[in-house]
A and B are shown apart, each in its own frame.
Chain A
Amino acid sequence: MKFAVIVFPGSNCDVDMYKAIEDCLPEAQVDYVWHAEKDLSEYDAVLLPGGFSYGDYLRPGAIARFSTVMEEVKKAADAGKPVLGVCNGFQVLLEAGLLPGAMRRNQSLKFVCEHTELSVENNETIFTSQYERGERIVIPIAHGDGNYYCDQETLEELKANGQVVFRYTQNPNGSVYDIAGITNKAGNVLGMMPHPERAVHEWLGTEDGKRLFQSIFTYWRENHGAASYASGTDA
């Protein structure tokens, strides 16, 4: 399985993301992919890391969403490949319209950097199969614009479709319905403000993020890996 970590000018969690894949999934391959890349077809999953792409000018993610590579990210999403956006990556996915809603400044107007407790609202996604439903996990956040917003109608839809995947048990930023992470309707695009890639070793304070990456790999192996191994082609 091959992961792409997209690097925008101003990404700063790309190395963490890359190392998380290396550490959690020794059987997988991972590459950095510069935002000007025109082809992602060789990758099985796409990771949009945190940071401050284009300095957060105008709005977080507003300029990055028009990067050349984003056309390819859309293609990957349409093809049903797992696409994960963390923090600024989540903001980019919202701006690109791959996920519904928008991000506002934190209600406190402060940058929040701390461990947060999340509840796993839906463990039947390709990103959360290795968690228990309702499980409490600890993942760090670090953001100034994590106050998720969507209108009431969209929220009802998110809830009805099981698209609300992670909720804060103590809301740190004012987000609607304590939302920390949502998927698209198809369930293959996940955006979340907390950083699972910073939660992959006990010595980091928590390793609760590890199973998110393992879930993606499990999904891939169940759906593609076995068939590929069997036919002796591209594993």
Chain B
Amino acid sequence: MYKALIYVTLKESVLDPQGNAVKGSLHSLGFGEAKDVRIGKYMELLIDLDDQQQAETRVKEMCEKLLANTVIEDYRFELIAQ
């Protein structure tokens, strides 16, 4: 069994309106050092597989097919053995 921690964010080349708004807010609060804020999604799921290689392949498929829209989003994930 593995726990997958999946992160989905807008691609670098795609303007992130939420990130921009949050950056503006951080700046107005005095955090001028905050650059390039990107808002994304974080997902957790348990994978009922014992083979790490296989779990990786399956999570990648999930991301490509449903969890991320690869036209505008990038994804990355970590697997933690349970």
Contact = CB atoms under 8 A, between A and B. Distances in A.
Contact of A102 (B17, B18, B67, B72): B72
B60 to A, nearest CB: 17
Contacts of B69: 59, 62, 95, 102
Contacts of B15: 104, 107, 174
A178 B15 CA distance: 15
Main secondary structure of the interface of A (DSSP, over half): loop
Contacts of A66: 66
B66 A147 contact: no
B29 interface: no
A94 B70 CA distance: 12
A41 B61 CA distance: 31
A136 interface: no
Nearest to B43: A58
B72 A109 contact: no
B17 A149 contact: no
How extensive is the interface on chain B, given as a class?
Answer: 10 to 19
A107 B17 contact: yes
Given A109-B17, A147-B17, A102 B66 contact: no
Interface in B65-81: 66-67, 69, 71-72
A116 interface: no
A62 B17 contact: no
A107 B10 CA distance: 14
Nearest to B10: A104
A63 B65 CA distance: 10
Given A106-B17, A107-B17, A149-B71, 5 more contacts: A58-B67, A102-B69, A104-B14, A109-B21, A151-B13
Interface of B: 10, 13-15, 17-18, 21, 41, 66-67, 69, 71-72
8 contacts: A58-B41, A63-B66, A95-B69, A101-B71, A107-B17, A149-B14, A149-B71, A174-B15
Return the 5 tightest CB-CB contacts between A and B, nearest first: A102-B71, A102-B72, A107-B17, A102-B69, A105-B17
